Amino acid sequence: MPRYDSFLLVSFGGPEGRDDVIPFLENVTRGRGVPRERLEQVAEHYYRFNGVSPINQQCRDLLAAVEKEFAANGVDLPVYWGNRNWDPMLTDTVAAMAADGRQHAIAFVTSAYSCYSSCRQYLEDIDRARAAVPGAPRIDKLRQFFNHPGFIEPFADAARSAAESLPLPVQGSYDLVFTAHSIPDAMAGASGPDGGAYSSQLAEASRLVAGRLGRGDSWRLVYQSRSGPPSVPWLGPDIGDCITELAESGSSAVVVVPIGFVSDHMEVVFDLDVEAAEQAERLGLPLARAATPSTDTRFVAMITELVAERQDGLPPRVLGDQGPALGMCSPGCCGAGSARPRVPA
């Protein structure tokens, strides 16, 4: 088994003040020809929160929790953190690792699923950062973890808590809706080694959480945060359409589980906590949103397990029927397809 000398947390990044927002969005969309007007529209989502995305603080909290978990379990790996789109930038972090003499790192990416933007693009980010740094360490990425108990169990408990926050008369009669970031149909079709992995993995994670709530097949998987042109097909149905349909069909309440996210991105705090919540309120439909795993102790312990799988040959723990994801991605895995997201929601 490989021996690692460092741990690298890799994430998307987000602005931490109003002056950061447009430069951050320019980083995200560089080379894609996104009009300035569109960037300014999206920027308003961030300005509502004074320009601060929650994701960077979530990464700081997660890194601190991982460091403590490593120490408690005798994992002697110094921890680093680098982002795709905002400080700390991945290339700067890799340079710091090289300066510290690190030679072989294991990387945890804050996405549980297989597709170009959530897996392959991060591998490209790592390769690009290493190419820019003389003496850069080798960096291996940990597997996807959509069906690991440390991901599923926190979501199940969070969904249960969300249901208990609903008005008492409807706590036992809510509709259960799982949501994830939409991507172009072409990208979804190219995801994973054989295609279709993104939707399949999301459905499996949703099924596993629903089963722990005793819901069987009584749940829906929908998508959110579409950002491409109308001419390009994206995964659906959209959560807004789902909320309208539920209200019109006489639903008593809805619990929304952001199964596609490991922490509160802007797509969670704006698209769900603002837009979806306001829509449900207008329609008179009680809505509760489940928390993301974030720094749940089981989620943090999962990261230690994933490292031990790779470094020490620990048997992988998974739930359901799909088995563990590949530890190493093949060159043709998770292609971009014919379309890529243009701008974050």
Which tens digits make up the pLDDT trace of 268-279?
999 999 999 999
Residue 342's pLDDT band (cuts 50, 70, 90): very low
pTM, whole model, 2 decimals? 0.94
- Span 38-46, mean pLDDT? 94
Average pLDDT over residues 5-9: 98
Average pLDDT in the 6-34 region?
94
- Whether pLDDT at 338 is above 50: no
pLDDT at residue 337, rounded to an integer: 61
Q: Any idea where the domains of the chain sit in the sequence? A: 6-146+296-312, 149-289
Name which residue leads in pLDDT, 34 or 174: 174
Confidence at residue 339, expressed as pLDDT on a 0 to 100 scale = 46
Question: What is the DSSP annotation of 116-164?
Answer: IIIIIHHHHHHHHHHHTSTTPPEEEEPPP-TT-HHHHHHHHHHHHHHHH
CATH code: domain 6-146+296-312 is 3.40.50.1400
Confidence check: pLDDT of 341 > 50? no
Using 50, 70 and 90 to split pLDDT, how confident is the model at 345?
Answer: very low
Q: How far apart are the first and last CA of the chain?
A: 41
Whether the predicted pLDDT of 344 surpasses 90: no
Instruction: Looking at the structure, give the CATH architecture of the domain made up of residues 149-289.
Output: 3-Layer(aba) Sandwich (3.40)
CA atoms of 221 and 163, how far apart (whole Å) = 17
pLDDT tens profile 95-141: 999 999 999 999 999 999 999 999 999 999 999 999 999 999 999 99
250 vs 338 pLDDT, higher one: 250
Report yes or no: 53 and 85 within 8 Å, Cβ to Cβ: no
Average pLDDT over residues 52-73: 98
Mean pLDDT (the chain, rounded): 94
6-146+296-312 and 149-289 agree in CATH topology = yes
Confidence of residue 227 (pLDDT cuts 50, 70, 90): confident
**What pLDDT digit, counting tens, does each position of 149-183 carry?**
999 999 999 999 999 999 999 998 999 999 999 99
pLDDT tens by residue, 285-334: 999 999 999 999 999 999 999 999 999 999 999 999 999 987 777 777 88
Instruction: Map 30-74 to HEC letters.
Output: CCCCCCHHHHHHHHHHHHCCCCECCHHHHHHHHHHHHHHHHHHCC
* Strand (E) or helix (H) holding 300: helix 297-312
Q: What is the pLDDT of residue 137?
A: 98
Q: 1: pLDDT confidence band, cut at 50, 70 and 90?
A: low
Helical residues (DSSP H) of 224-276, grouped into ranges? 239-248, 266-269
Q: What is the dihedral of CA 46, 52, 55, 57, to 10 degrees?
A: -170
Question: How confident is the model at residue 228, as a pLDDT?
Answer: 74
pLDDT at 331: 73
Q: Facing residues of 238 across strands?
A: 223
